[in-house]
Amino acid sequence: MAEDDSNEISIRRAKFSWPLKRHASLKRASDALKAAEECKGKKLEIVWKSDDEKDRSRGVKVGDTMAFIQSPIDASGEFQAPFQNVRL
């Protein structure tokens, strides 16, 4: 949005505490997996949105395996086998 005197005003959507907690949990899980011995030398990727329209969960992928999954109603998420011993 721009005013007549060329000053710009930016308007962004407000972020509420629930999405911020979910995002932070996902990033902490990614950091925990990076530090884990089982993940050394493997590619880590945060999957913010699934390719499947019906699957609204998201998580952290190690190689081709989903190591951490967070459902839409879960603020924390869970580590999946064989990474279930990793802790936040």
pLDDT band, very low/low/confident/very high, at 8 (cuts 50, 70, 90): confident
pLDDT at 4: 59
SS3 44: strand
Beta strands, E only, 1-88: 44-47, 58-62, 65-70, 78-79
Going by the DSSP 8-state scheme, the letter that residue 59 receives in this structure is: E
Model pTM above 0.85 = no
Give the Cα-Cα-Cα angle 28, 31, 37 (nearest 5 degrees).
Answer: 130
Task: Tell me the pLDDT tens digit for each residue of 27-67.
Answer: 999 999 999 988 888 999 999 887 777 888 899 999 999 99
